[in-house]
Amino acid sequence: MGRGCLAGPLVAAVVVLDKRIMLLKDSKVLSKIKREQFAEKIKSKSLSCGVGWAWPKEIDELGLTEANRLAMSRALEKLSCDYDELIIDGSINYLSNFKNSVAIVKADVKIKAVSAASILAKVERDKYMYQLAKKYSRYGFERHVGYGTKLHLERIRIYGPCDQHRKSFSPIKEMVESLIT
């Protein structure tokens, strides 16, 4: 989660589900409260789960594709059990070097384990961004969690980017370059 954000980490999650978790949905269609409730259920009832992070500096240094791969690999390292199949949401198989991995478009809507991973990643990232909001109160992270909203762009223009901003992403890249020249 957080691929399109201007600030904060990129977060990936992996979940090996027990068949008992039902009614999972894509994290984007759930309310914040429902996502948080599902995340707790996922953590307690899944066979194993892991969350991996790629930090803004890593995203800037590696690029988004490699940062995705890094976050996903870090999430997989946290699994405490084997898995039969590794399903990645989207059209790119970032982990093609792992056994039985496949990319499926809209997997977060079609496959419960991917829905669970999507929910867990979003909840963990949002929690982190709410904590950042305390340290960097002028940016309003608690409201936009790093996405390029009108408020966020306005705050970046006023205060400049902080160390949590992805300096390789537009429009931050252009702002930084204009300060240099």
- pLDDT tier at 125, thresholds 50, 70, 90: very high
Mean pLDDT of the chain: 91
Pick the more confident residue, 105 or 2.
Answer: 105
Contacts of 47 (CB under 8 A, 6+ apart): 16, 17, 18, 81
Pick the more confident residue, 20 or 119.
Answer: 119
Residue 181 pLDDT > 60: no
**Domain membership flag for residue 73:** yes
Give strand ranges (E) for the chain.
10-16, 48-54, 86-89, 101-104
pLDDT at 23: 57
pLDDT at 133: 97
State the Cα–Cα distance between residues 53 and 63, nearest whole angstrom: 14
Give strand ranges (E) for 23-76.
48-54
pLDDT at 67: 97
**Domain membership flag for residue 5:** no
The proportion of the chain whose per-residue pLDDT surpasses 90, expressed as a percent, equals: 75
State the Cα–Cα distance between residues 70 and 93, nearest whole angstrom: 13
pLDDT at 170: 87
**Domain membership flag for residue 77:** yes
How many domains in the chain?
1
pLDDT at 31: 87
Task: Give the CATH number for residue 139.
Answer: 3.30.420.10
**Domain membership flag for residue 1:** no
pLDDT at 169: 92
Domain that holds residue 21: 10-180
pLDDT digits (tens, 9 = 90+) for 21-67: 655 666 677 888 989 999 999 999 899 999 999 999 999 999 999 99
